[in-house]
Chains A and B, each alone.
Chain A
Amino acid sequence: MALTSRAIWLVLLGIVPVVLRPTASTVWLWLLLCAVVVGIDWWLAPNPRRLEIGRTVTPSLRLGDSTDSTLLVTNPGPRRAVGVLRDAWPPSAGAARTRHTLRIPAGERTRVSTPLTPTRRGDRVAAPVTVRLRGPLGVAARQASLVVPGQVRVLHPFPSRRHIPSRLAVLRQLDGRAAMRVRGQGTEFDSLRDYVEGDDVRSIDWRATARRRDLVVRTWQPEQHRRVVIVLDTSRTSAGRIDDAPRLDAAMDAALFLTAIAGHARDRVHVIAGDRTVRAHVTGHDRVGLLHDAISELAPIDARLVEADWRTLAAEVTRTVSQRALVVLVTPLESSALEEGLLPVLPALAARHRVVVASVADPAVERLARGRGSATDVYAAAAAERTESLRGRTAEAFRALGVEVLDEPPEELPLALVDHYLALKRRGLL
């Protein structure tokens, strides 16, 4: 039951009988008449619950892109359905126009679409569709909210994907086309080819050269099919915001970038996200599918205000890989949280795997540390230096265990992490 603005005019029209017969009873009689008219109109209005509504919506899109949520409304009843439809979405779905005018003749169908431009990563679930259908006089309407399932998964924008071509070029350089200067344990013999000026003389294969007249060098291809495990910390320390985005978003960017590059290098990548529990575990053989899965699986994950349970996460790593692997722990270097949670389990992990801790640094702390203007600034600078020194102490403790620590601001962390990975690969240290 709903009234329209025509009902107001209907009531105000009573001014005519009131002027003609100026008594209070005229007012009451007129209001009674209005109530009767509204009741009849409501009775004659079509029932919105009889409408058949179906929804088509793009299941997923990258943050920053737009899509449409389209509703197909069928009117199976004998009367024309005239009214309003509201396709409600949460505010962060960025629905531009949610109200649509309906005018469906009996037995026909119409299509209404709501443009969506989501403003935040994650799953956006459509709220119930509300339909208000007017009666023939247009003074009253029937209203109902109908559940029409629909969901949009807003994916991480993955801004560092623009660096993929440059790092793939570096990867190709490693890949069998140049004679390796340094041979590591994991490098594999690839092929023999003619010596070209500039090749390392140490890689000349004298036996092969003896068989032929020309100098022949051995080439090596970097190790393949190594295991890379990326662990994303989604605990409270990742909830902190740096500039506009939470730390977790920068951490995901780094994890996705490494997934993309390592996938191309034919390594087996596992992405684990968790805090007290494991919230996502993405794995796969096919490198394109893996990146897609990782982006999709990580999209709805937000940081939670709980302490990370590194014992659980370490156990998940151990369960995932049996042989030596590169384990990347993407977590903010918060001394108190890590020294109590991660430090006890790190020795066991570092003994079995090559462990890298990647941390999103906060440029604001650095800015704060340079403040010299007033006493307030200097106290803040001292606090910032204290934060830095605590982080440094934690990093030192990790390095003492043979763990590499990368502490970079959000834009540089993905590059630093991938460059570190490529350096390890070049030296065959995976």
Chain B
Amino acid sequence: MRRVGAWLLAVLVGMGALAAIAIATAPSGEAMDPEDTGPTGGAALLAVLEQQGIAVDVVTSITDVSNALRQRDEDVTVVVPSTRNLGVDAAATLREASLGVGRVVLLAPSSDQLDAMGTDVTALPIGASIPVESRCDIGPVDRGDTLDDVTMRYEARGQAAGVRTCFPLLVQSEDGGEEGEGDHGSGLVDLPSTPQHAPVTVVGTTAGFTNRGITDEDNAALALRLFGGSPRLLWYQPGVADLASSDGGAGGSGLLPRWLLPAVGLVCAGVVVLALVRGRRLGALVREPLPVVIRAVETTEARGRLYRRAQDRPRAAAVLRQASLTRLRQRLGLRRGDPVEAVARATSAATGRPVHEVLDLVAGPPPTDDAALVRLAQDLSDLEEKAHRP
């Protein structure tokens, strides 16, 4: 039972260690993490931007974004390189906070997020990761640039003035030509500033600007031009907390019913009462007057251990020989005072073994090691047995 328990414990500890290693070494999972130098991280782009002399400020919560943008500064570009954790409320807050900044760049946002940003743009997934040619010439984008790893396309609704689109998605027509430029959405939408929002640039790729994708086609140049348009860059990497909606209470407690906390307190009180109920014993413990009972053979065993620890072979052998001699004397009808030689002669006569052999056994030199002592003890009992059954 104990072995099974030990095995179970070992397995549990092993599993725990594996889990700890897995958690510690797993990639953060968040694309464009500014500190991640892995394939999905954004450390390469960030490093190059800093080399270019751009002051990059990394924040991970919408509150920090609001604080950082308190004074309206034209020289700031706000980049949201990963929109996965950007909640609708966070996006709305971002819209408000970013009024007056130089540019807001959103990578692969969803329609909801775009709506919350106050833009009239619809996001549509492509379902593939493809390179697209620019076919336009606006500030950060030159004609002939190619953007790789585009995964989203965007369509601007309505006829707002000044909306510019680049990287249009083209569909191959049956006769081999390309048709419908702009009908199928585009990989980049640039929206001018309106009273609702700052200038917004929506780019339909995240993977294209990661450490892995940044070197594809013209991605690096596009990224630098998009992100490095101003002397300062606010790199907003939304944390998990920004995903939550803010209505119905702030933070995580809004998800739980309001009576839960008092109920937990009540249950705690119940546990205290349980302790009181179970803790009151029905009368005192009864004392058992135990008699002192030691095993009688204990002293003898202890003496044996003493002999052994002292390696007192001469004494042990002498005691065994003396005991055998006493029994042989009784058995062979000799008196207690008879010399050893007489006993040896009588034993030799009874057993048929030579006198000198018997004499050597009962009065020889003491054994020199434990094996010899065991042998002597066995020989003595053999001799006695033979003498007892002539």
Contact = CB atoms under 8 A, between A and B. Distances in A.
A90 B296 CA distance: 26
A90 B289 contact: yes
Contact of A90 (B286, B293, B298): B286
A240 B302 CA distance: 14
Interface in B283-321: 283-284, 286-289, 291-301, 303-308, 315-317, 319-320
A53 interface: no
A14 interface: yes
Contact of A365 (B257, B292, B300, B377): B300
Contact of A382 (B263, B288, B294, B304): B304
A305 B282 contact: no
Nearest to B260: A22
Interface in A1-18: 1-5, 7-8, 11-12, 14-15, 18
A217 B66 CA distance: 136
A383 B296 contact: no
B284 A128 contact: yes
A70 to B, nearest CB: 18
B283 A385 contact: no
Interface stretch (A160-168, A206-214, A369-377, A417-425): A369-377
B266 A30 contact: yes
A27 B282 contact: no
Interface stretch (B25-33, B168-176, B238-246, B273-281): B273-281
A306 to B, nearest CB: 11
Categorize the interface residue count of chain B: 35 or more
Contact of B291 (A19, A302, A380): A302
Nearest to B309: A379
Contact of B374 (A240, A375, A388, A392): A375
Contacts of B257: 22
A362 to B, nearest CB: 5
A262 B41 CA distance: 105
B266 A15 contact: yes
Interface of B is mostly: helix
Interface stretch (A174-182, A241-249, A348-356): A241-249
Given A384-B304, A389-B322, A22 B262 contact: yes
A305 B291 CA distance: 10
B258 interface: yes
A387 B287 CA distance: 37
B183 to A, nearest CB: 56
A89 interface: yes
B129 interface: no
A383 B266 contact: no
Given A132-B282, A362-B296, A91 B288 contact: yes
Given A3-B276, A127-B286, A380 B270 contact: no
B319 A382 contact: yes
B300 A387 contact: yes
B301 to A, nearest CB: 6
A378 B316 CA distance: 8
B270 A368 contact: no
B269 interface: yes
Interface in B368-388: 370-371, 373-374, 377-378, 381
Contact of B282 (A22, A130, A368, A380): A130
B304 A3 contact: no
A382 B291 contact: no
B390 interface: no
B267 interface: yes
Interface residues of A, number: 72
A24 B262 contact: yes
B266 A3 contact: no
B265 interface: yes
A322 interface: no
A187 interface: no
B323 interface: yes
Contacts of B316: 378-379, 382
Contact of A379 (B280, B295, B308): B308
A5 B277 CA distance: 6
B326 interface: yes
Contacts of B266: 11-12, 14-15, 18, 27, 30
B300 A240 contact: no
A4 B295 contact: no
A55 B280 CA distance: 25
Interface of A: 1-5, 7-8, 11-12, 14-15, 18-19, 22-24, 26-27, 30-31, 84, 86, 88-92, 99, 120, 122, 127-130, 132, 143, 145, 239-242, 246-247, 302-305, 332, 362, 364-365, 368-370, 372, 374-389, 392
Given A383-B304, A388-B323, 12 more contacts: A22-B263, A86-B283, A88-B286, A90-B289, A128-B284, A143-B280, A365-B297, A372-B378, A374-B374, A377-B374, A380-B304, A383-B319
Nearest first, the 10 A-B pairs at minimum CB distance are A240-B296, A130-B283, A380-B304, A22-B259, A383-B304, A375-B370, A382-B316, A383-B303, A385-B323, A364-B297
